[in-house]
Chain A
Amino acid sequence: MESSQYLLGIESTAHTFGASIATSDGRILSNAKDVYTPFTGRGIHPREAAQHHCEVSSQVILRAFKEAKIRPRDLTAIAFSAGPGLGPALRMGATIARGLACYFKIPLVPVNHAIGHIEIGFLASNAQDPLVVLVSGGHTLITAHAGSHWRIFGETEDITMGNLLDMFAREAGLSPPTGVSVEQKARMSKRLLDLPYTVKGNDVTYSGLLSASIRKFHEGCKIEDLCFSLQEFSFSMFAETVERSLAHTEKRELLLTGGVAANKRLQQMLRNIAQEHDSRFYVVDFQYSGDCGAQIAWTGYLAYMQGIVIDVENSYVRPKWRLDEVEWKRIQGNLSH
Chain B
Amino acid sequence: MEENTRKSITLVKKGAEANLYLSEWGSIKVIVKKRIPKKYRVAELDKKIRDYRTIHEAECLFLARKYGVPTPIVLSIDNLSNIIIMEYIEGQRVKEVFEKVDEKSKKMMCKQIGNQIGRLHKNNLIHGDLTSSNMIISDQEKIYFIDFGLSFHSNECEDMGVDLYLLKRAFFSTHYKDVNKYHSAIRTGYIKEVGKKIADRVFKKSQQIERRGRYFVGRSI
Contacts and interface: CB of A to CB of B under 8 A. Distances in A.
A202 B95 CA distance: 16
B42 to A, nearest CB: 6
Given A200-B128, A272-B39, A272-B40, A151 B173 contact: yes
Given A152-B173, A247-B133, A203 B166 contact: yes
Contacts, number: 115
B214 A153 contact: no
B25 to A, nearest CB: 25
Given A232-B45, A247-B15, A201 B129 contact: yes
A244 B16 contact: yes
B41 A236 contact: yes
Interface residues of A, number: 49
A146 B176 contact: yes
A151 B172 contact: yes
Contacts of A244: 16-17, 129
B15 A201 contact: no
A310 interface: no
Interface stretch (A217-225, A283-291, A295-303, A317-325): A317-325
Interface in B129-163: 129-131, 133, 150, 162
B20 to A, nearest CB: 11
Interface string B80-105: 00000000000000010000000000
Contacts of A156: 214
Nearest to A150: B173
Interface residues of B, number: 38
B44 A192 contact: yes
A258 interface: no
Given A152-B173, A232-B41, A240-B38, 20 more contacts: A138-B214, A139-B214, A151-B172, A152-B172, A200-B166, A201-B150, A203-B162, A203-B166, A236-B45, A245-B16, A246-B16, A248-B16, A248-B95, A268-B40, A269-B40, A270-B40, A272-B40, A273-B40, A320-B217, A324-B172
- Enumerate the 10 nearest inter-chain pairs by beta-carbon distance, A residue then B residue, closest first: A151-B173, A201-B166, A244-B16, A247-B16, A269-B40, A320-B215, A272-B40, A322-B215, A84-B215, A243-B16
Interface of A: 83-84, 138-139, 141, 144, 146-147, 149, 151-153, 155-158, 160, 192, 197, 199-203, 232-233, 236, 239-240, 243-249, 268-270, 272-273, 276-277, 320-325
